[in-house]
Structure 1
Amino acid sequence: MSERLRNDLRQARRDSGMSWAQFSQATSFTPAYLRNVENGNRSLTIDVAAAYDRALRTDGKFEKELANAKAAPSAVPWGQDGAALTVLADLVDGRAGRVDRRGFVKAGAAMSASAGGWAGALGIARPSAPVESAQSAGGTALLVNMAGRLEFLRRLDDELGSGEVRRQASGELSLAVTLLKAGRYRGTAANRLLRLAGEAARQVAWCTFDQGRPGVAQRYFDASLRASAEAGDATGGVYTISFAAVQLYSTGQADRAVALLETARSQLRRHSTPRMEAMLAARTARAMSKTTAKAATGRQLRLAHDMLDRGPQDDEPEFLYWVTRSEVEMIAGSCALDLGDPAEALRRFEAGMRAHPSVDEEFPRSHAIYLARAAEAHLVLNDLDAAVAAAWQAAACLGSVDSARSSSQLKGLRVKLAPHAAYRPIADFLQAAAG
């Protein structure tokens, strides 16, 4: 659709008889920019389509076509060879589009469908990949370097938040798609590249959600799952689903999140490891706590701790470095707060902080969210001094972090503190936060 629309734009411009100078003046875009759009070197955006409509007097034709293309779900069948590259290339080409951030229910339904497609596609028997090969001696080294950069971005996301990381991960995704299109890699090397593309898409998805755009994020989660299925990478797909589940339970779709995580577990089979099980159990507990399922939440948290008690395993995926006893305790605190037990929430938050004393330096975004929740728990217990102290700490953690999700958590805390503004320390915090 994107390529056909670009061709239509080019032909309509030519049919108008306008020179590039005239057309540039009519659209308010430079000729060089528009040439790149028509040639596919720049994304075709709604603004550009609307400019063509304005200059060519086509009554919104191109804008409507592009909007419909961006809003439509992917028609690429699951399990079809090469489907993952088609979907990934569409994203790189700008097909994710401007999805209404309020459309999170539609995004949730689409995510559930993606998980089902992923589970089915993993079960499709594929021929064994031939021996790894690349067309140049440095080919496999490039894959190693790309994997290292994606690992760096995972860590950077912990410290800086999602803004810059999304841009960098998008660049890695674009590079992976370019290499896949070129057919430079064969056999297991091509599978490795597809896995890397899936991880890059997952990172873009997570960062996009963290920036408050769940509709667009869903498209990248879907692409990541398609890449993992085609590469036979069940572990990578499970990891993607675990992050998609966070988006679902954070946008009021906890039941969908639980179902999504069950789908992930059903596909682990022999690929499971204790830390992976701990992560899935902890996130299932978090989703269940939002449905007020207290007993089920407790069972999942106990399972998470039991899995971590097994200690480090040689085959644990490196990307699970953050799944620690501290993190599980912090999740348990959030669960307790949602289940109406602020005292238990504080006990768990404090245990999590004791288990990882440097958590504020290594994971400032997550720590800010947990501090904000601790402040809410203190507030419920009417300990205003402790509440405002935790609020100040949360604000300090967010000082250098770009995260709409964390900022939203702090904004919600300010709303809850506002009724207590007669208390001077809280008034001072609210005034400082407003400035």
Structure 2
Amino acid sequence: MQTTERKRQFGHYLARLRREARLSQRQLADRLCTLSGVPTLTRNEVGRWEQGRRLPDAWLPALATALGVQLGTLERAASWARGEPEGRLPGAFATLAELLPPGDPLERETGTQGRRIGPSTVAALAGRVHGLRLADDVLAGGDLIVPAFRELSGAVVLHRERTYDEPTGRALLVQIGELAQIAGWIASDAGEHSQAAEAYALGISAARQAGDGTLTANLAGSLAYQLSNTGHELEGVDLAEAAVAEAGPDAPPETRALFHDRVAWAHARLGRPHSQSAIRALGQAHDALTDEGGPEAPQWAYWVTRDELEVMDARVFTELARPLRAVPLLSRVLERYDATHARELALYLSWLAVAYADANEPEAAADTAVRMFELSADVASDRTSERGRVVLGRLAEFEDVPEVRAVLAEHPPAA
């Protein structure tokens, strides 16, 4: 990674620390002047640091105090930005900036002499990518993983072995990034988490080479979601928040809403100590979606709607054991959800079953679980299988209730 890109990442990291300290750029500059005794620092200089135009080397001790972080952490981050081997960027920013392994599969073959392609080839690929997204709405990961990765492999071959002009090459990289995101999502749903992470890494490389920060953030946020759901909750929070920073405040409203929702879920997965952070992120998602006048949303964000935000609200409230808020939201959404989306319906019913259990309504929880298992019986989705195990574990606490006992007899929890 070039030093200029490292400085930009360091700037994002510094901006995040400032926001977490609830300081404006001007307030941070004033605090640094007070701490250092040097009265000449301005908010413009802080802005240059956060844009990656300069490194605040002499100001690192005062910055550590002002932002409430360890000086050694800031010094290692600055060393990383300078390209020094002992440097290290903390948390999610290290994950996001150094995600790709050596040997980028998108590296162009030297002496490429393949047939020239143009916009029509990329447009055809874009149509197939969107077709995969629409298929994922009604099919599960086990059904789609083979064709998704076949398409991804073919797109990479196009990039490496064919010739094209610069605009076509950039458009091709965007489609590879979008294809990698849906392929990663499909692989994760099939339970192939390592394969999903590799796809997301490939997509991040493509999106960055194309200069598409919003797509980069979507890929990073997708990986954060997987981490949060597979026992890596702290890494999930860091990466979800890094995705918000990567997209920036000028990303389309729908995409910013999605990225804040992923932050909310990541915090919710850490439990009640993070409840306020989760709820605050939900509010930021709703605020983002109501923004007017922003850039047009990319095609891949077609599904981000008010209904989907309500689903995430309900899931977060369920995860935080707040059933009085979760049950009405889930019930309302399920009444109007398309029955062809069996996997999504089964997932939402799983959260509703848990919310009923949290509300000490075991009969309603059992009835909801029955509907969930009926819908998911033929769905090749690791997500629904895992949620089924969660529901059964929660119902086991009410095994003396006849309705619950019947469900447990039909679907005995794994030993």
Fold conserved (TM > 0.5)? Answer: yes
Unaligned runs of 5+ in 2: 5-89, 101-113
Q: State whether residues 79 and 230 of structure 1, in contact with CA within 8 Å, keep that contact through their aligned partners in structure 2.
A: no
Q: 1:118–1:229: 8 Å Cα contact kept in structure 2?
A: no
Q: Which whole-Å CA distance do the structure 2 matches of 1:155 and 1:345 have between them? A: 28
What is the distance in 1 between the residues matched to 2:311 and 2:326?
A: 8
User: Does 2:243 align with 1:264?
Assistant: yes
Alpha-carbon offset, residue 275 of structure 1: 0.9
Work out the CA distance in 2 between the residues paired with 1:79 and 1:421: 60
Q: Which of 347, 353, 356 is equivalent to 1:369?
A: 347
2:163 alignment partner AA: R
Residue 122 (structure 2) aligns with: 143
Say whether 1:324 aligns with 2:324: no
How much identity, in percent, do the aligned residues show? 26
* Aligned residue runs from structure 1 range 3-402, under 5 A: 113-117=94-98, 139-269=118-248, 271-291=250-270, 292=272, 293-310=274-291, 315-353=296-334, 357-361=336-340, 363-402=341-380
Question: How far apart are residue 308 of structure 1 and its match?
Answer: 2.2
Given that 2:252 and 2:295 are in contact with CA atoms closer than 8 Å, whether structure 1 keeps it comes out as no
Q: Assess, with a 3 A threshold, how the Cα gap between structure 1 residues 111 and 225 changes in structure 2: closer, same or farther.
A: farther
CA 1:256–1:419 in 2, change beyond 3 Å: closer, same or farther? Answer: closer
Q: Please state how far the C-alpha of 1:270 moved relative to its aligned partner.
A: 6.5
CA distance in 1, matches of 2:372, 2:174: 36
Report the residue type matching 2:357 in the other structure.
Answer: L
1:238 touches 1:264 (CA, 8 Å); kept in 2? Answer: yes
Alpha-carbon distance change, 270 to 290 in structure 1, aligned in 2, over 3 angstroms: closer
Equivalent residues of 1:333, 1:346 under 8 A apart: yes
* Structure 1 residue 197: Cα displacement: 1.6
Task: Give me the whole-angstrom Cα distance separating, in 2, the residues matched to 1:215 and 1:425.
Answer: 39
Determine the structure 1 residue equivalent to 2:395: 417
Q: Deviations over 1:73-122 (max 9, x none)?
A: xxxx6799xxxxxxxxxxxxxxxxxxxxxxxxxxxx99864412379xxx
Amino acid at match of 2:235: R
Deviation at 1:407, TM superposition (A): 0.9
Instruction: State the distance in 1 between where 2:278 and 2:352 align.
Output: 19
Given the two structures, how large is their TM-score scaled by the length of structure 1? 0.65
Uncovered stretches (5+) of structure 1, i.e. residues with no partner: 1-76, 81-108, 120-133
The DSSP-based 3-state class of the residue aligned with 2:248 is helix
In 2: Cα distance, 1:269 partner to 1:314 partner: 13
1:205/1:278 Cα in 2 relative to 1: closer, same or farther (>3 Å)? Answer: same
TM-score, normalisation: structure 2: 0.68
Q: Distance in 1 between matches of 2:172 and 2:217?
A: 18
Q: Shift in Å at residue 135 of structure 1? A: 5.3
Q: Any idea what the Cα deviations from partners look like across 1:103-152, whole Å, max 9, x if unmatched?
A: xxxxxx99864412379xxxxxxxxxxxxxx955x742221111111111
- C-alpha separation between the residues in 1 aligned to 2:307 and 2:409? 32
Assess if the C-alpha contact under 8 Å between 2:221 and 2:259 holds in 1. yes
Judged with a 3 Å threshold, the aligned counterparts in structure 2 of structure 1 residues 159 and 295 are, in CA distance, closer, same or farther, namely: same
Aligned position for 1:51: none
Higher relative contact order (CA 8 A, sep 6+): 1
Q: Which amino acid aligns with 1:244?
A: L
Deviations 1:403-428 (A, max 9, x none): 11111111221232234344333333
Amino acid corresponding to residue 359 of structure 2 in structure 1: L
Q: 1:400–1:155: structure 2 CA closer, same or farther, 3 Å change rule?
A: farther
Kindly tell me the number of residue pairs found equivalent between the two proteins: 313
C-alpha distance in structure 2 between counterparts of 1:234 and 1:140, whole Å: 22
Deviation, 1:273, is 1.3
RMSD: 2.9
- Alpha-carbon spacing, 1:284–1:221, altered in 2? closer, same or farther (3 Å): same
CA distance in 2, matches of 1:322, 1:146: 20
